[in-house]
Amino acid sequence: MQSDFDTTPRFFAFPLSELGRIGELVAAYGAGLPDTPKDPASPTTVCLAGGLDREGSDDLRSMDYPTTASTVPLTDGRHASLGCWTNAILTAVAGGEVIAEELTAGQFTSLQYNPE
């Protein structure tokens, strides 16, 4: 349900060890979002983050790793993603239950792996 999500898009960087347990994290901290907002027949997917459906809207659509969402490799070995995260995962990160770091847009840009 959309009320289970913070609607502020945030970059989070995760070590590979946390991404390796994505199923466990989704089970513990995920919440359901529709695949297509505003469509009552749309299936719901339990996920850790949603994406804004369209410019100027606060409707969220599900982001399912690795099916409909991906992470970006960083130069320090972590992987990052931008999304509107569940309140539960934000609380778990703040409490140290999940290892992740919120990045500013500038930090994300400077840490992106560029294989030139």
Q: What is the pLDDT of residue 70?
A: 86
Among 22, 68, 5, 11, which Cα is nearest to 42's? 68
Angle (CA) 46 75 79, round 5°: 5
The pTM (predicted TM-score) of the whole model is 0.89
**pLDDT for residue 104 is more than 80:** yes
